[in-house]
Structure 1
Amino acid sequence: MAVDLYAILEVEASASGSEIKKAYRKLALRYHPDKASEEERHIAETKFKEISHAYEILSDEIKREEYDTYGTTDGNGASHGGQYGYSGNPYEDFYGNGGGQEYGGNDFYNFFNNMNGSNGHGARGKPNKMRTEDAEIEIEVTLEDLFRGKTIRTTSTRNIICTSCKGSGAKKSAVTKKCVTCEGEGTVRKIRRVGPGLVTQEYVQCSSCKGSGKTYRSKDKCKKCDGKRTIEETKILEFEIVKGSKSGETIVLAGESDQYPGKETGDVKLTFRTKEHATFTRKGDDLYSKYKITLVEALCGFSRVVLKHLDGRGIQICTPRGKVIRPGDFIKIKNEGMPIKSSSSGWFGNSPSKRGDLYIEMEIEFPQDNWYLEKNDLTKMKNLLPNELHSKVDIRNQTIDDDSLPEANIELVTDFTIAKKDALPDYKEPETEQEEADHGYDYDGYEAHGAQPECAQQ
């Protein structure tokens, strides 16, 4: 049974490099032989070797990828019997050597090799150029940051190709030889089983020469990178958030991830998301807010600063005299929303004057019960406000003819309460026949479980 290196370090298979390093240090301190007693030293040494071996594999990007894919780290997955980890013909291990079958392993072997233009002579097809892993960063920004625009600066530490050995891992005076594992190609071909009776071949980096195609003596390795072919570099990265950018967008700095010889350099990606704002809600390029006024202000008008904008300006509103504000009304202020981010470039791109609109939802606070001081206040209010409905249609629909309703049939109701809209009962509409069928019920209301037995005729 294969050894689970992740279980040895007590981490998940999705653990990051820093988590693996942290777990290794913790376990190394716990099982270090120098800290164990004489009776437990042998066990500690064994455990310490397992931990060190697991860390050696999982801390190396190439070895870890090889381990995750194939469960092995032997360089090319080969056993001592053949180049591909099986026999000289890897398809024989899955299809046998004939055995009376119409097609055998040699047929599949020759077919796939001829597809690469080798005509059975074993010529190698060049693998696609590999790429280093992209670095991804996620941050939270405020709505003010997206309104004004912002530049994010962060310190980045990455691996770059060693400036001393130019990525070879060896001294300039070192005598190199062609790697016997990959035959100087830097990559090896592996056969991987993808299903019953199905296999595929792919190229992976040779772990013996680390993709260089050459080997050298250990004493000839580069002193600056210690033979790792890369060194660390620290620099400041800048990400510019353009005015009007939306939450969830990603800024990409191409070629700023880790470097490695023979690989295309990955990117650094910054994704930003907006924090919830106390005053504004963004919808597209428009801004929404709420403001509460009294009933007197709704009827008579008002003039005051209602909110502080995202750029620090105060927005003052003065309603016209006689203009009545009703519940649910919005005050729309043009060109006071978010800056509109344009995808075009040039003189007319990202114009700061082009912005969305601002919508302020007006909430009207009615007076509390028994608000009047004297009964005469009610009379004054009735004299000031209209006492009839404005629409003649509403008046006609709500008028009951006194001649058709005898006085004896009129009941005075005084026992009632005021019900709020959010406190009304929740009425569930009956399901239609189609909805019943979608939920697995037949039209008679019984749950359907496929075909039902028919009644036998008597």
Structure 2
Amino acid sequence: MPDLYEVLQVESKASSSEIKKAYRKLALKYHPDKVSEEDREEAEIKFKEISSAYEVLIDEGRREEYDLYGTTDGSGGVPNFSGDPFEAFNSGQEYGAEDFFNFFDGFGGQPQGAPKVNRTEDAQLDVKITLEDLYNGKTIKITSTRNIICTHCQGTGAKKKAVHKKCGRCDGEGTVRKIRRVGPGLVTQDFTDCTSCKGTGKIYRTKDKCKTCEGDKTIEETKILEFEILKGSPSTDTIVLEHESDEYPGKETGDVRLTYDCQEHAVFERKGDDLYTKYKIPLADALCGFTKNMVKHLDGRVISVPIPKGKVIRPGDYIKLKNEGMPIKNQSKSWFGSSNKNGDLYIEMEIEFPQDNWFLEKNDIFKVKNLFPNELLNKNDINKQRIDENSSSEANIDMVTDFSIVQEKNLPEYQSNDDNDDDDAYRYGKDTGAGPQAECTTQ
């Protein structure tokens, strides 16, 4: 990195007003519009250097960092060594093998710079899709505008017979070095593409630039990208279109990555390849059977289920419809073609019981009691609840009328055994290791 004070031709102790004055003077001198056509390219490079130096030195924070570390990348750079550069290692502080490697790599390093980044950045897209999209499959079409290598100059940025000059900023290397601090007294060096020559080490005069790309080496291309989401795909996934990102000469073209996420569905819940939903019926249907259109499926079909008469549906029961779940992705094919199997659809049945005092006449209660069994079917349940005759004498029966019916969600909450253990530990002195303590002593 060039000395920023030398670039602006000021002393290191210059005030802000002196820096502003020097910048205005040099900016007028090297402004590209103030020079001849032949000198414009060099003037542009010099003008950028002056502007970059001014942006650092006019900012108190960045100027202080530059004076202290010699860098402006915000990570802290090389300290101003005085005397023995190994002084930091002689201070008694411990360092690992990686610290020593970074130290010598920072000062020795590779004389011609580190390997360049040989790939353009990937483009990332994020979209929301529906469960219907995953069930039926979907193709997402997106209009993409990207940079491709100029078809006229083939990525050189100049006319065919143009003569290039060596870039003055990177000395024709195509990269510039940045010093980065990695520890107390330890530095390493990073290499980035030169912004003046864009990593080529060559610059051309303005009149020699390609008229199609204006020296940028790339032009814009607009095309439609298609991302196919197959039936039964997972709820969240990334689809990659290789080499569809920006192009640039000398670099491998990056990818376009589309990451999709399935939104929550109002009716169905997906679990693996199976689907779950809920359906509520009145008590009469649960006891007598029914035929109902129970759900509209993800492909638009209406699913009707016939429950035969006499088949009792109980709270917590599920109706399992085989092969009505999500399509199974990547199915193996047999001699007869794809099996086209799906997961299953589970319908959780909820029973709606009648409200209190549902009967119109007392005779309705007797009719129901006559229709249904009045005794339990399981003998174990009968024996568990049976009270012997000696305990159930009329004098021993207490009729409790102060009661209410409470749902499970309204039951009281209780402390766990773990919470009680803490109280016991305190009471018995376990926190001091003394063991149980006697409360009194007999004489």
Same fold judged by TM-score > 0.5? Answer: yes
Alignment of 1:272 with 2:260, yes or no, is yes
* Cα pair distance change 1:264/1:282, threshold 3 Å: same
Per the alignment, residue 358 of structure 2 pairs with: 371
- Name which of 302, 308, 318 aligns with 1:320: 308
Which residue matches 2:426? Answer: 444
Q: 1:250, CA displacement in angstroms?
A: 0.8
Q: For 1:428 and 1:381, how far apart are their aligned partners in 2?
A: 43
| Structure 1 gap ranges (5+) | 1-45, 50-62, 73-83, 117-121, 451-458
The answer to whether 1:255 aligns with 2:243 is: yes
Q: State the TM-score, normalized to the length of structure 1.
A: 0.69
**Contact 1:340/1:350, CA 8 A, preserved across alignment:** no
Q: Determine helix, strand or coil for the equivalent of 1:289.
A: strand
Q: Closer, same or farther in 2 for the Cα pair 1:374/1:316, shift >3 Å?
A: same
Do the aligned residues in 2 keep the contact of 1:298 with 1:326 (CA within 8 Å)?
yes
Taking the TM superposition and a 5 Å limit, the aligned residue runs for 1:332-351 are: 332-342=320-330, 351=338
Q: Tell me the residue number matched to 1:159.
A: 147
Q: SS at the partner of 1:372?
A: coil
Give the corresponding residue for 1:386: 373
- Equivalent positions of 1:51-450 (< 5 A) are 93=79, 95-98=81-84, 101=87, 111-112=104-105, 123-124=111-112, 126-342=114-330, 351=338, 353-431=340-418, 443-444=425-426
**What is the distance in 2 between the residues matched to 1:320 and 1:411?**
45
Overall identity of the aligned pairs, in %:
59
1:276 counterpart SS class? coil
**Preserved contact between residue 256 and residue 267 of structure 1 (Cα < 8 Å):** yes
Moved more, 259-268 or 306-315: 259-268
Q: Equivalents in 2 of 1:326, 1:100: separation in Å?
A: 82
SS at match of 2:133: helix
TM-score (structure 2 length as normaliser): 0.71
Q: Point out where structure 2 has 5 or more consecutive residues left out of the alignment.
A: 1-23, 28-47, 58-68, 72-76, 91-99, 433-443
Q: Post-superposition shift, 1:93?
A: 5.0
Structure 2 Cα separation of the partners of residues 162 and 192 of structure 1: 36
Bigger radius of gyration: 2
Higher relative contact order (CA 8 A, sep 6+): 2
CA distance in 1, matches of 2:231, 2:101: 59
SS at match of 1:404: coil
Conserved in 1, the CA contact under 8 Å of 2:103 and 2:188? no
- Per-residue Cα deviation, 1:46-87 (whole angstroms, up to 9, x for no partner): 9xx9xxxxxxxxxxxxx9xxx9xxx89xxxxxxxxxxx979x
| Post-superposition offset of 1:302 | 0.9
Q: Deviations over 1:223-258 (max 9, x none)?
A: 222222221110000000000012221111111111
> Quick check: 1:154–1:236 contact (8 Å CA) kept in 2?
yes
Mapped partners of 1:266, 1:130: distance in 2: 10
- The whole-number CA distance in structure 1 between the counterparts of 2:401 and 2:424 is 49
CA distance in 1, matches of 2:335, 2:180: 55
Opposite residue 98 of structure 1, the aligned amino acid is D
What letter matches 1:142 in structure 2?
A: T
Q: Write the distance in 2 (CA, Å) between the matches of 1:346 and 1:365.
A: 45
